[in-house]
Structure 1
Amino acid sequence: MSVPAPRAPEQAAAPASDAGLTLLVIEGDPAGPLSMPDITEMSGAEGKPVRIRTARNLTEAERLLTDDVHCILLDLADAGAASGAAGGPDELDTLRRVLQLAPHHAVLALTAEADTDRAAEAVRVGAQDYLSRDELDGRVLSRAIRYAVERKRADLAQRQLTESRLRAQENARLERGLLPTPLLAGSGLRFAARYRPGRSRALLGGDFYDMVRTPDGTVHAMIGDVSGHGPDEAALGVELRIAWRALTFAGLCGDELLATLQEVLEHERADDETFATLCAVDISADGRRAGLSLAGHPAPLLVRPGAAPYLLPQEDGGPALGLLRRARWPRRQVELGGLWSLLMYTDGLIEGRVGAGTRRLGQEGMVELIGRRLAEGLRGQELLDAAVAEVQELNGGELTDDLAVLLLDRGGRAPAEGERPHWPAGRAAVPPVRA
C-alpha cells in the first residue's frame, strides 16, 4: 500500500561558491533607495563582493527571486509600501508574505534603531535574524547574511530529517498492521519471511502471505499474488489474507476455502480482469504430512536433509482465483517426512532476469540457487536474505515485481559452531510445470 512521501524541502543555495553571495533587498520607500554599504563575503583568505539586487515591491521581488539568490533583506520600515497594497498592511504581514514567497531562502529583517520589540517579533514570525539601520556597515551585514544562510540551511536539514523519521515511524506502524503476525505457538515449526514491494515508496505490493495454527494442531500457511501493481492490488491482497485467516479459523480448508476466497475477490476487485494466484498448505499436527492446494501458483520447494531440494507436484492444481466461475481446486496429500524445510514464494523470486538478456531465472534456476546456498550452511532468515540478494544481483538491480518468500522449517537441533548441516549441492530435478 503506497504512502506518498512528502516533497523534500529544497536546500538553500550554498553560500560558499565561486560566484559569491547574492542578496535581494526589498524596500518600498518612495523617497529613494536604501543606502547599502559595500559588502564583502567573509570566506577564505580573499573576500568576494556580495551582489545586491533591489526590488521596490513584492511583485518585482518575485521576478528577481532566482535560484542564485541566497538571502533576502526586508526593510520593515518600508514594508507597507513594498507590499503594493492600498493603505499599506502591517509590516509583519508583509514579512509573512515574503516567507510564503521564498520558504527556502534566508530572510533578514531591517528595523529602526529603537524598534527592538518589532525586531524580536519578526524573528518569531520566521526571519532568521534582524538588523537595525544604524548597523548597516559592510562587515556586520556580511556576517549577518552568512549566518542567516547557514541557519536556514540547518533548519531545512533538521526539518527534512524530522519528516523522514516521522515517515519511517508511520511506515513501520502501517507495516506492522498490514503484514501478518504468524500464529504458530506450540507447533514446533520455525519460520522466516522476506517481503519487498516492487513499487518505490510502497509498503505493500499485491503479494500476501500468512500462517496460523488451529486448535486441532494443524498448521496452515498460504502465499498469494494479486495481478497488477498499485494500491488497489495491495489493498485487495490484505483483504484476501484477512479473509483466509478468518475462514481457516472457521474450519474451511482446500477447495471450500478457495471457492469462498474467490467470492471475496469477485466482490472486492476493482475490475473483472483482476485475479489472484494462491498456494495453500495445511500441515498435520505431527508435522509429517501436508495437504497442498494450488490456484495458478508455483509449487513450493521441499528440502530434506541428505536429499536434493525439489519442487512439490504442480499437477492437478486449479486456476487462479477470479478467472473461472465454479472452478475446483483439488487438494493433494504430500509426505514431508521427519525433518524438512518448505519454501513458498511468489513469482517475483523466479521472474527476474539472468544477465543482460531476456533469460529468466525460472523455477529450475531458483532450485539450483537454493541448493547451493543450503550447501553453504545457510538456513532460516540468512538463507532468504542471501537468496533474494543473489536474485537481485542476477537481475542487474532492483526487481520490478513484488516479492514474497516464506520458509517453514521442521528441523532438528541447530548446527554447532563450525558444523555445516548435510545439504547436498548441485542441480535438482524439477517436475514439469504448467505454464
Structure 2
Amino acid sequence: MDMENADPLGNGLDRFPDQVTSATAVVDARGIVTGWSSGAQRLLGYPYEEVVGRSAARLLGGKADATGRLSAVLDGRSGPTLLRHQGGRFMEAEVQAYASLDSEGNAQWLVVATPPQQPRREPRPHEDEATTEEAFAQSNLPVMIYDAELRALRGSAGAARELGLAEEQMRGRRVTDILPPHICTTVEEGMRRVFETGEPERFQVHGRPRRGARDRHWAVSVSPLRNPTGQVRHVQVIALDVTEQHRARERLVLLNDVSAQVGSTLDVMRTAQEMADVAVGRLADFISVDLLDGLFRGVEPRPSATGSVALRRAAQRSVLPGTPESVVQPGDVDYYPESSPPARCLHTGQSSLHRALDEAIGSWQVADPERARKVRDFGMHSIMVVPLRARGITLGVAVLVRHRRQNSFDEDDLLLAEEIAARAAVAVDNARRFTRERTTALALQRSLLPQRLPVQGAVEVAYRYLPARSRAGLGGDWFDVIPLSGARVALVVGDVVGHGLHASATMGRLRTAVRTLADVDLPPEELLVHLDDLITHLRAEEDSATDPELEILTDLVATCLYLVYDPVSRRCTAAGAGHPPPAVVTPDGKAEFVDLSVGPPLGVGGLPFEAVEWEVPRGSLLVLYTDGLAEVPEHDLGKGMARLRRRLERPADSLDATCDDLVQTLLPAKPRDDVALLIARTRALDAGQVGTWELPSDPAAVADARDKVARRLADWGLDDVVFTAELVVSELVTNAIRYGTPPVQLRLIRDIALICEVSDSSSTAPHMKRARMFDEGGRGLLLVAQFAERWGTRHRAGGKSIWAEIGVQDERS
C-alpha cells in the first residue's frame, strides 16, 4: 500500500461521511481491525468483540484473494465493494479509506462504508407550487390573504364554509363587505397595524360570520407575508373558532362568582336573590327561585306527594327593568299545578329542559292562563327547571327562561344550571338551619327570661332584651326582678360567655339558681359565692359527660350583678362577678357609676366577692345592663360606658322612653351581642307606713304586741286583717321569746301586702313540723303558713328575722 500517494483529505473527497448512514472502522498497517463503530455493527451485524483484533480481509466478499482486495480498498483503487454480512449474505457498498497515523506514528486507515443511495426522483416543474396551492385551497381552517388595500386575494375552503361565500365571491372584496360592522372594524384595524409595524397581531372577536349563523367567538391571528426584499406585501388572516373554550371559561367564571357571591348572609331570601343576580344576564334572561313555605320558618321542608304545590317566591331577576315576566312578587305564595314541570321537579328531584312548544309546557299553560300570556307576550322559547337540593332534601325550584337570546338552552347549560342550583341550595340550607337554630334558641331564651315582672312596690321597672343578630347566634344574657322579704327587691343581670343553644340553656340554669338562692335571703356577696360553686360543678359535669362529636365544648364562664334595694332604709347593696357596675341617676339628673369592687367572673374562682352599700334618694334610677349595650365594635367598654352616662343625663318622659333612647342611640342596627337592660326607679316607704316596737323577753309581752298591732292596723284602715295579723304576730313573738335571744323586735310594714317581722339575736332558724296528737307545741309555724301568703327566715348580722306577708285590700289611690 502506497502511503506516500494517499490523499490526507480522504482520497480527493471534499466532504466527511454521513455519521448516520455510514459504517466506519479503523485498520492498521497489518490489515487488523482496531476500531469498530456502532454504524458498522448496524450495517454488517458483527458485534465489536467479533471484529476488533482480527483481519479486515474476512469482511470482504468474493472468492479472489482477500488480502489483495483489501490492499486495493486501502489504496483507493476499489469502487463499489462486496461486504460480508454476519448472516452470510453479501451486500454492495461504497468503501473509502482515509490514511492517518496512530498515537505512535504508525500508519492506519479510517475505512468508511456507505450503502448505495436510492435514485431520487426530481420533482417536475411547479409541482411544489401546485401542492402548496392545493393545501391552501383545501384547508379547513378559515384562512384569508389580503393585499395592501385590504382586499381579499385568496380564501381557503374553511373561510368559504364559515362566510357562506365561494372564493371567487370573496376576491377583491374588503372585510367590510363580508363581515358584520363590529367584527370587520376590529379585523381591518389589526391588518393596518400589521402593514405598518410588520409584527403579527392576535385578538378575539365575537359575532355571527354570516346571517343565520350562531354567535361564536373567534381567535384571529394576522401575520405579515414578505417579499424577497423583506417588505410586507400581503397579510394572512387566520380565524380559529374558540367558542367552546370561551363558554367553558365563562362557566368556570360564573361558578366561581356563585361560590364567592351566593351565601354572603344567613338570610334565606337574600341568599336566593344572590343566586338570581349572578345567573341573569349570563345564563338566562329571567329567573325565579321559589322555596317551600316551611323553609322560611326554619322547619324541615316536606313537599306534598300529590296535588298542587305551594311555593313562596324567594327571588326573581330579569334583564328587563321591573321584572315584567313575573306573575307574583317576592314573598308571595304561588301554587303550581300538579302536572307542571316545577311540581314534577319537586316531586322527583330531577331537572328538565324544555322548549316553549313542548307538550309539558303546553299543558302547564293550559292550567295556568296568566303564565301562558307571559310566555306569548315576551316570546319565551327556552326553559330550564332545576331543583334546589341539599343534603338529600329538596328545598325549592328555580325556573330559568330565555326570551332575548336567540340561542336555546342546551345540555351544557342545564349542567351549569344544576351546578349553580346545587351550590346555592347549600347556602340556602345553611341559612335555613341557622334560622331554625336561632328560632329555637330565641324561643328557649325568651321562655327562660321573665314572662312578666312580679308585683312589688319597691321600684318601678322597665327593661329591654335584644337578641344578637350575628352568625354566632344568641348569647346568654338575662335579667330578673325578685321580690324579697321586708318589702325589698333584688335586681339581677347576667351574661353567659358564648352563643347558641348551649349558652341559652346555661343562662336558664343560672337564673333558676339565682332565684332559689334569693329566696334564702342570702347577702349579695354570699349569693355569688354559691353561684360560682354551682358553675364549677356544672363544668365538671359537662367535661365528663359531653360527647366530643357534638362540638359544643366551651368554657363555662358567666358574669353577674346582684343588687338589693330596701325601700324602708333607701339603701342599696350590690356585688358583682366580672360584670360592669350599675349606674345611678339621681332626681336632679346627675348620672354616676357605682364604685363597685367587681370580683372575677363566675366559674373562674380563686377570689372572694365584696359587697358595696350606699343610700339613694327617692326617685333615683338604678340602671343595670350587660356589656353588649356599652361595648360595641366602634367603642371599647370604657368609651361605651362614658356614652351611656351622657345619655342617662338626658331627661326622658318615662322609663320606657329612656330604654328606647339608649337602645336606639348606643347600639348598631344589627347588634353582634345580646343586650339586657334593666332600669328601676326607686320608691321609698314613709315613716307612717312602718311600725317598730322593742319587746321584752317576757311571755306577757305577747298580749301587748297584739294590742299594738290592732291599734296600728286600725290607723291604717286595715280592720279586715286584724284577726289574722294578731294571730300571726302572736305566734311569731311567742316563738322568739321562747326559743330566741333578746332583744326582740316587732316590725309592721304596710306595702302591697302587710309584712310582719319579728327579730331576735339568735341565729337558730325555726322549722315547721307536724305536731302529734298530744304535743303541746309545734303548731305555731303551721298556723302562720296557713294564714300568711308567704313566710320565711332572713339571717342578718347579729341575729335573724322571721317574717310573714298577709294579703290586704289596698284602697290607696
Taking structure 2 as the reference length, what is the TM-score of the superposition?
A: 0.32
- 1:364 counterpart = 2:364: no
Contact 2:456 2:489 in 1 (8 A): no
Return 5+ residue gaps in structure 2 as ranges.
1-295, 302-310, 328-339, 345-356, 366-370, 400-435, 543-552, 685-813
* Alignment counterpart, residue 11 of structure 1, candidates 313, 327, 343: 313
Q: Is the 8 A contact 1:182 1:210 kept in 2?
A: no
Letter in structure 2 aligned against 1:256: E
Alignment-mate amino acid for residue 351 of structure 1 = E
User: Is 1:292 the equivalent of 2:574?
Assistant: yes
SS in 2 for 1:43: helix
Structure 2 counterpart SS, 1:208: strand
In 1, Cα distance between equivalents of 2:315 and 2:497? 45
Which of 513, 521, 525 pairs up with 1:243? 513
Match of 1:352 among 632, 644, 654: 632
**Residue number in structure 1 paired with 2:622:** 342
In 1, the alpha carbon distance for the partners of 2:588 and 2:326 equals: 71
- Higher RCO, Cα 8 Å, sep 6+: 1
CA distance in 2, matches of 1:304, 1:278: 24
1:261 counterpart = 2:554: no
* Partner Cα separation in structure 2 for residue 38 and residue 198 of structure 1: 46
CA contact (8 A) 2:458 2:488 kept: no
Check the 8 A contact 2:475/2:504 in 1, yes or no: yes
Larger radius of gyration: 2
Q: How big is each residue's C-alpha offset from its partner over 1:253-274, in whole Å with a ceiling of 9 and x where there is no partner?
A: 2222111101111122456833
Tell me the residue number matched to 1:398: 670
Show the 5 A alignment for 1:307-322. Answer: 307-314=589-596, 316-322=597-603
Check conservation: 1:182, 1:212, Cα contact below 8 A. no
Cα deviations by residue, 1:178-217 (Å, 9 ceiling, x for unpaired): 1124654242421011111224599952111111112322
Structure 1 residue 231, shift from structure 2 partner: 1.9
Closer/same/farther in 2, CA of residues 213 and 252 from structure 1, 3 Å limit: same
Q: Quote the Cα distance in structure 1 between the aligned partners of 2:360 and 2:612.
A: 88
Mapped to 2, the partners of 1:167 and 1:230 lie a distance apart of 8
The CA deviation at 1:101 is 7.3
The alpha-carbon deviation at position 346 of structure 1 amounts to 0.7
Secondary structure at 2:521 match in 1: coil
Distance 1:19 1:211, change over 3 A: closer
Gap change, CA 1:200 and 1:6, over 3 Å in 2: farther
Corresponding residue to 1:187 among 457, 460, 465: 457
Contact 2:386 2:397 (C-alpha < 8 Å) held by counterparts: no
Given the alignment, which residue of 609, 617, 621 partners 1:329?
A: 609
In structure 1, C-alpha distance between the alignment counterparts of 2:558 and 2:361, rounded to whole Å: 71
When residues 244 and 204 of structure 1 are mapped into structure 2, their CA distance, relative to the original with a 3 A threshold, is: farther
Amino acid at match of 2:460: R
Q: Is the CA contact 1:5–1:201 (under 8 Å) kept in the aligned structure 2?
A: no
SS of 1:282's partner is strand
- TM (norm. structure 1) is 0.56
The Cα shift of 1:351 comes to 0.6
Q: What is the match of residue 213 of structure 1?
A: 483
- 1:399: Cα distance to partner? 1.7
For 1:275, the equivalent position in structure 2 comes to: 557
Is residue 2:656 matched to residue 1:381?
Answer: yes
| 1:323 CA drift (Å) | 1.1
Task: Tell me, in whole angstroms, the C-alpha distance in 2 between the residues paired with 1:241 and 1:275.
Answer: 14
Instruction: Name structure 1 gaps, 5 residues minimum.
Output: 27-33, 54-63, 69-99, 107-165, 413-435
Separation (CA, whole Å) in 1 of partners of 2:386 and 2:398: 11
1:29-40 matches, within 5 Å, as 36=359
Matching residue's letter, 2:644: M
Structure-2 separation of matches of 1:181 and 1:403: 17
The 1:299–1:246 alpha-carbon spacing in structure 2 relative to 1, beyond 3 Å, is same
Q: Label 1:362 to 1:168 Cα distance change in 2 as closer, same or farther (>3 A).
A: closer
Structural mapping, 1:46-195, within 5 Å: 47-48=377-378, 51=381, 65-66=385-386, 104=397, 174=444, 176-181=446-451, 184-195=454-465
- The aligned residue for residue 373 of structure 2 is 43
Q: Flag the 1:349–1:43 CA change in 2: closer, same or farther, 3 A.
A: same
Alpha-carbon distance in 2 for matches of 1:346, 1:368 = 17
**Equivalent position of 1:153 in the other structure:** none
Matched residue, 1:234? 504
2: CA distance between counterparts of 1:317 and 1:386? 27
2:479 matches 1:197: no
Q: Partners in 2 of 1:406 and 1:360 — Cα distance?
A: 20
**Is 1:280–1:292's contact at 8 Å kept on the other side of the alignment?**
yes
Which amino acid letter does the alignment assign opposite residue 389 of structure 1? Q
For residue 13 of structure 1, report the CA deviation from its aligned partner. 8.6
Q: Is the 8 A contact 1:20 1:48 kept in 2?
A: no
CA deviations 1:147-177 (Å, max 9, x no partner) are xxxxxxxxxxxxxxxxxxx999988865552
1:222 CA drift (Å):
1.1
The Cα of 1:244 is off from its aligned counterpart by 0.3
**How far is 1:398 from its partner?**
1.6
After superposing the two structures, state which structure 1 stretch, 289-298 or 168-177, moved more.
Answer: 168-177
Residues matched between the structures, number: 293
**1:81 matched residue in structure 2:** none
Superposition deviation, residue 322 in structure 1: 1.2
**C-alpha displacement of 1:359:** 9.2
Mapped to 2, the partners of 1:102 and 1:181 lie a distance apart of 35
Query: Which amino acid counterpart does residue 642 of structure 2 have in structure 1?
Result: E
What is the root-mean-square deviation of aligned Cα atoms in Å? Answer: 4.4
TM-fit CA distance, 1:328: 1.3
